Amino acid sequence: LTLAFGGAQMKDDNAPLSCWGIKPGSKIIVTGIKPTEDQIKELTTNGDPEEYALVLRISGSLQKSKDFVAEYLPKYEEDVDAYLAATPIPFKMPAMPPARKKLHDLHGMMSENLLQSLLALDGVVCPPEFEKARVKRREAVKATQKLLDVIDAINTRVKQSDKAAAASFSSSSTT
């Protein structure tokens, strides 16, 4: 379901109605497609519409994470490869070269987004009887964690290159 008021989509489920300027007598537009009984039975343990809603919420969160990574990961990998192919310049943390700062910021942004997705999944409470929703949530957490691991592995390559450059610089400056 999608809620709209005054032409704006109400995306934050936790925001109070006063944030949207809603007053007594205001009209909220509700749009959505009611699932069929077969759709509900297919995705749930025992045909419970509440479990269906949880499964859709979990699937949507995972898809959002996958789409986000699909958008930013290729550019991040490309920038990392270019950075690693160039002659690394040793630096101290406050004075990061622009190319390295760009990688640092991109890694931070992607990691933060995926951690927010993990927190959102953590906030999904599945009752014990909702077996399929619980399995879907567990799979979504694992998949999101794998995406985070991929990004962290690429960042580790960059950090190792930085350490090697620093070691190379200090050994050449002492001779």
Q: Which residues contact 82 (CB under 8 A, 6 or more apart)?
A: 99
Alpha carbons 11 and 54: distance in angstroms, whole number: 17
Q: How confident is the model at residue 1 (pLDDT cuts 50, 70, 90)?
A: confident
H or E stretch at 14: none
Total-model pTM: 0.76
Q: How far is CA 103 from the centre of its chain?
A: 18
Place of tokens 């950090």: 159
Mean pLDDT (the chain, rounded)? 88
pLDDT tens by residue, 14-34: 788 788 888 888 898 888 878
Percentage with pLDDT > 70 across the chain: 91
Average pLDDT on 68-96 reads 85
Quick one: pLDDT band at residue 163, thresholds 50, 70, 90? confident
| Ramachandran angles phi, psi of 29, nearest 5° | -95, 125
Residue carrying structure tokens 């070269």: 97
- Helix and strand counts by DSSP (H, E) for the chain: 4, 3
User: Count of alpha carbons within 13 Å of 123, Cβ hemisphere only?
Assistant: 10
* 3-class state of residue 125 by DSSP: coil
107-120 pLDDT, tens digit per residue, is 999 999 999 999 99
Cα(84)–Cα(40) distance, integer angstroms: 50
